[in-house]
């Protein structure tokens, strides 16, 4: 009996345990540091628990990219990665879970509808899972343990349907499969927010970097624990603290102070949904050493030494401060509704202008979850996001229709960003599909933070790159404009026109925030104690949810 236990012990030790709070997940495949080793090399490290192969960056027509790790292909150009296939088997024999990550910051992927996504689920199952009937399997007979969705193109169509179909297919498999998603920290995420709210997801690798909600800024972990307990179809979803693995892995969010990180882990790990730490990426983590240990090993040590096993009820903070810096400009809210508002020369509407051609599925965010900030001193990274409605069709009417209700936190931090017309697209080594692909050059960044007991105070960071911007010439004029807008909103006139511009943000007569999506208004409830109204600060006027007690100052 004792001999049997002796032989079983190594097997038990190697088994992946989803209930642990000390798991480390890491992305591999993009060679972002230029020193990427084989997949098996990282799996042989005892600190690895989940490895995401990045990326399947083209679909529904399949296209893979693993930088320097795979160069052979089938006759149609689809990569054929026999060495990765062998390494997948090695990783799994060592108790690691290997997920294929779909998406990435650059790539050609999207679905036109749920039906197309459901059909693609079968393709994934047949090509990378236990399905059959395909002639080309990039990983030969190796079978991944599930799929990760690192979708970053602001198009959320089909992913919930895809995962639901995959879940059905998984029931015919011989092992347990996992689904994960990698949202940006602003909630809800523009690309996978719908997936997280409408399908069963096992892990959320939340990217607390290249955003205003980084750990060292307006950290919104409580917002995500609230999502886990009140929104997610999977009440046992595991939330991972997503971090860059070195200073060069992302534009912002890297934590070099291990004492600071230990304190954060101790604080947030009391949540029953805490799962561990997720890193971008393997090459960066192993090239970055602190006190003689690579960053990957340090993460495991931090978790094992500081995880709080006590379970507490998470609450959402009602106040936070976001300062204007050269790395990030955005706003804080339980549901992030970022409104970049600059008055035009005619000063006839307060609208949000975001650098995308249109609002996709009522979602608009500057498409740079990771923005390279090393190009020039004057480079400023912006991350903007608006709340999204889910699985709705555009109503063919100009009359206001409530499509969905989203609660916006009482933390209200407005941001105005002027973006110059220069955009630089960069690519990383080995033609990899990096998360760092877009550099924006803002002319000026105005960050406004509103506390319950004060009117907005603006701090300004200005770069040397010029841009044409028109603001109200006098503070009094701005205040009058805010009053005029609020009178317009109170009369139920929204923007005062029969049509609206995608991304435009106004208020309804009953205090809801309204955003134009595909020429129709989508309405969002403000949090308790707040209401939607226009307010001025200096020469600027903003429209968003703000504390109700301040509204009378702008009427």
Non-local CB neighbours of 412 within 8 Å, separated by 6+ positions: 331, 332, 333, 450, 530, 544, 545, 546, 547
b/e burial code for range 514-524 (CB count within 10 A of at least 16 → b): bbbbeebbbbb
Class of residue 178 by CB neighbours under 10 A (exposed 0-12, middle 13-18, buried 19+): buried
Nearest to 532 by CA among 551, 518, 515: 551
DSSP 3-state of 303? helix
Tell me the sheet residues that pair with 449.
413, 457
| Residue 374: count of CB within 10 angstroms of its CB | 12
Nearest to 364 by CA among 221, 191, 134: 191
Q: What is the DSSP letter of 97?
A: E
DSSP 3-state of 134? coil
Tell me the catalytic residues: 152
Non-local CB neighbours of 531 within 8 Å, separated by 6+ positions: 507, 511, 545, 546, 548, 551
SS (H, E, C) 383-451: CCCCCCCCCCCCCCCCCCCCCCCCCECCCEEEEEEEEEEEEEECCCHHHCCCCCCEEEEEEEEEEEEEC
């Amino acid at each position: 009996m004792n001999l049997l236990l002796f032989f079983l012990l190594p097997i038990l030790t190697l088994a992946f345990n989803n209930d642990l709070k000390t798991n480390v997940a890491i992305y591999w495949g993009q060679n972002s540091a230029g020193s990427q080793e084989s997949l098996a090399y990282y799996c042989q490290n005892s600190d690895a628990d989940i490895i995401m192969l990045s990326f399947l960056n083209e679909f529904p027509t399949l296209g893979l990219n693993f930088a320097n790790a795979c160069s052979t292909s089938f006759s149609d150009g689809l990569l054929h990665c026999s060495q990765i296939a062998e390494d997948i088997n090695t990783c799994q024999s060592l108790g690691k879970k290997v997920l294929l990550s779909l998406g990435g910051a650059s790539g050609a992927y999207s679905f036109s509808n749920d039906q197309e996504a459901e059909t693609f689920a079968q393709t994934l199952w047949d090509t990378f899972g236990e399905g059959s009937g395909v002639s080309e399997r990039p990983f030969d007979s190796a079978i991944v343990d599930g799929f990760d969705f690192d979708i970053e193109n602001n198009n959320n169509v089909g992913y919930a349907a895809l995962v639901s179909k995959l879940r059905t297919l998984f029931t015919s498999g011989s092992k347990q499969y996992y689904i994960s998603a990698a949202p940006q920290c602003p909630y809800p995420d523009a690309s996978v927010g719908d997936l997280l709210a409408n399908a069963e997801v096992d892990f959320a690798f939340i990217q607390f970097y290249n955003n205003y909600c980084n750990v060292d800024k307006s950290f919104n972990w409580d917002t995500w624990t609230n999502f886990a307990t009140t929104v997610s179809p999977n009440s046992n979803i595991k939330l991972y603290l997503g971090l860059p693995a070195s200073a060069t892995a992302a534009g912002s969010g890297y934590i070099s102070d291990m004492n600071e990180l230990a304190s954060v882990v101790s604080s947030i790990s009391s949540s029953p949904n805490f799962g561990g730490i997720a890193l971008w990426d393997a090459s960066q983590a192993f090239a970055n050493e602190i006190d003689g240990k690579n960053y990957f090993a340090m993460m495991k040590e931090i978790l094992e030494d500081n995880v709080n096993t006590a379970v507490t009820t998470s609450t959402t903070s009602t106040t936070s401060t976001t300062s204007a810096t050269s790395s990030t400009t955005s706003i804080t809210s339980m549901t992030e509704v970022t409104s970049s508002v600059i008055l035009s020369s005619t000063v006839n509407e307060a609208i949000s202008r975001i650098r995308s051609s249109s609002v996709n599925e009522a979602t608009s965010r500057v498409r740079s979850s990771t923005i390279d900030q090393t190009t020039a001193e004057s480079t400023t990274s912006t991350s903007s996001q608006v709340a999204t409605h889910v699985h709705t069709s555009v109503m063919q009417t100009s009359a206001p229709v409530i499509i969905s209700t989203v609660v916006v936190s009482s933390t209200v931090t407005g941001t105005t960003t002027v973006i110059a017309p220069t955009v630089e697209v960069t690519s990383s080594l080995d033609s990899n599909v990096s998360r760092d692909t877009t550099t924006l050059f803002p002319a000026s960044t105005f960050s406004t933070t509103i506390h319950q007991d004060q009117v907005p105070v603006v701090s300004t960071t200005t770069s040397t790159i010029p841009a044409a911007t028109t603001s109200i010439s006098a503070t009094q004029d701005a205040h009058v404009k805010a009053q005029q807008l609020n009178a317009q909103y109170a009369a139920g006139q929204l923007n005062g026109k029969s049509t609206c511009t995608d991304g435009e943000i106004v208020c309804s007569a009953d205090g809801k925030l309204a955003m134009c999506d595909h020429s129709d208004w989508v309405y969002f409830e403000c949090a308790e104690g707040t209401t939607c109204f226009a307010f001025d600060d200096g020469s600027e006027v903003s429209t968003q949810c703000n504390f109700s007690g301040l509204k009378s100052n702008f009427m």
